[in-house]
Structures are given as C-alpha cells and as structure tokens.
C-alpha cells in the first residue's frame, strides 16, 4: 500500500506510523473502496512497506510476461507491473468499478505505458479469458469480495499452465496500514477458500512487514480430509504419477 537491530527497530516503527496514517481503512467486506479516496492509496512511503519489486520477483514476473492486477484500484501496482513486463508483455488492469478503470486509463496514458488493458469485472467474474495469464496478483482486496471461492476458481482458470496467483493482504490486528481489525481476513481463511476453489498453495512468503503473501498454482481440488489435515503446515508436493 537496516543497519543494526536498534536502527531497524526505529525504521520499522517510523514506517508503521507513517503508513498507518497514509492508507485509510477500507469498507466492510463486500463493500468497495470509494473512488474519490484513490489518492489516499498513493502514499510516498508505500514502496518501503509494500516492497513491490520483491513481490513481482516472487511471482516470477519478468520481461514479456502477461499478468493481471485484480482489484487494480488506482493502478499503483498496475504501472509497476507494466514497467516490469515491458513492451512485449501485457497487464490486465481489472476492477469492478468503472471509475477505477477510468483513473487507470488516464494514469497509464500520462506515463506513456501502452501495454495495459483495462478489464471490467463483475462480482466473482473477473472478465479474464481462460489461460491468459502467467501471473495474477490481488493486493489488499480480499475483504471486499463477497464470494472469494468463486473468484479464486475463476482466476485459477485464467492462469496458463505453471501460472501463479499471488494474494497479498493485511495480517489480523490493528497494526500498520489497511482496514480495521474486524475487516481483515486471516491467511488461513484465504488458504482454505483457495484450496476449495481448486488452487494449490505453493508457498507463503514472509518478507512483508504488515501483510501476508500467499502464492498459489492451479491444482486438483483436494479431499475434505486432505484439506483438514493440511492446515497449519506447509503443503507437501504431490507424489509423481506412474
């Protein structure tokens, strides 16, 4: 949205204090971020705690990749994705609110980025074609989605073979930026819902100071027993087929 232990503590505390004021709480689950407040998502210190380049690295996004920024909002991640994939790549800037897409279109035009395609979603329907993306990214939007299982299933179908779905959202509690504690969705809930939608958890990244970062790939839906037994530990790789 680092030198020495004492210095690190001071830096993290300062960033947390600034970020908490920079990004306002969002609306309740299923209610969308108001377009008139988009400027509040552009805090000058957001790069420090959001660490966008590390997120893109973790998803394997590179030159000529085709990616989707789902719930793109102001386009903060969209423009960074567009610069990363370059003129031979493509970024689908997806949002359910026309006002957001208008803002993104104006932004990419100002910045001279010709590789961004606005996509209008509707509810749990992403508007993305099947097998169109090397990677799909959702940042700070899961608490706004009413039917996450349906959306995750839709996004899983939008992945190319070997594609990755990244979910970045705020950890439970009131620390840092983001929505209030009552509105935050725990990582365990997202893992369970994504698994129910037929996705497979690949890994959990821990480098973000205020957010969890889950990376999924397409996979067969597990049995209820397997889902229950897998909670609370890293997933094991599937056994090779004979």
pLDDT in tens, 191-241: 999 999 999 999 999 999 999 999 999 975 444 544 444 444 444 444 444
User: Which residues are paired to 95 by β-bridges?
Assistant: 120
Q: What pLDDT, on the 0 to 100 scale, is given for residue 165?
A: 98
Q: Is residue 39 part of a domain?
A: no
Contact status, residue 65 vs residue 135, Cβ threshold 8 Å: yes
Structure tokens at 130: 């099947």
Q: Looking at the domain assignment, is residue 29 inside a domain?
A: no
- Count of CB atoms situated within 10 Å of the CB of 33: 23
CA distance 85 to 66: 7
The Cα–Cα gap between 208 and 194 comes to 21
For 150-192, what is each residue's pLDDT tens digit? 999 999 999 999 999 999 999 998 777 877 888 899 999 999 9
Residue 191 domain-assigned (yes or no): yes
The beta strands (E) that lie in the chain are given as: 66-70, 90-95, 116-120, 133-139, 159-170, 199-205, 211-218
Query: How many domains in the chain?
Result: 1
pLDDT at 130 > cutoff 70:
yes
Domain membership flag for residue 8 = no
pTM beyond 0.85, yes or no: no
Q: What is the pLDDT of residue 17?
A: 40
Q: Is residue 7 part of a domain?
A: no
Q: For residue 36, which phi and psi values (nearest 5 degrees)?
A: -65, -15
In a domain, 42, yes or no: no
Domain with residue 181: its CATH number is 3.40.50.150
**CA-CA distance, 53 to 60, in Å (whole number)?**
11
Domain that residue 64 falls in? 51-230
Residue 4 lies inside a defined structural domain of this protein: no
Q: What is the mean pLDDT of residues 58-83?
A: 96
């Amino acid at each position: 949205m680092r030198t020495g232990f004492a210095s690190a503590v001071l830096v993290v505390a300062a960033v947390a204090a600034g970020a908490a004021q920079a990004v306002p709480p969002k609306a309740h689950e299923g209610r969308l971020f108001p377009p008139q407040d988009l400027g509040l998502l552009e805090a000058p210190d957001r790069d420090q705690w959001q660490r966008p380049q590390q997120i893109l690295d973790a998803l394997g996004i590179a030159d000529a990749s085709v990616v989707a920024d789902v719930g793109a909002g102001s386009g903060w991640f969209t423009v960074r994705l567009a610069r990363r994939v370059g003129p031979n790549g493509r970024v689908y800037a997806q949002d359910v609110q026309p006002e957001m897409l208008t803002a993104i279109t104006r932004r990419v035009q100002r910045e001279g980025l010709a590789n961004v395609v606005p996509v209008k979603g509707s509810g749990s329907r992403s508007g993305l074609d099947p097998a169109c993306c090397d990677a799909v990214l959702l940042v700070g939007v899961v608490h706004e989605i009413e039917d996450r299982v349906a959306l995750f299933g839709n996004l899983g179908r939008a992945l190319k073979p070997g594609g990755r779905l990244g979910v970045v959202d705020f950890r439970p509690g009131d620390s840092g930026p983001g929505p209030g504690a009552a509105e935050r969705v725990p990582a365990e809930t997202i893992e369970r819902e994504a698994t129910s939608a037929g996705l497979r958890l690949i890994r959990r990244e821990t480098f973000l100071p205020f957010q969890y970062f889950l990376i999924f790939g397409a996979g067969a839906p597990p049995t209820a027993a397997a889902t229950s037994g897998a909670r609370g530990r890293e997933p094991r790789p599937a056994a090779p087929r004979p």
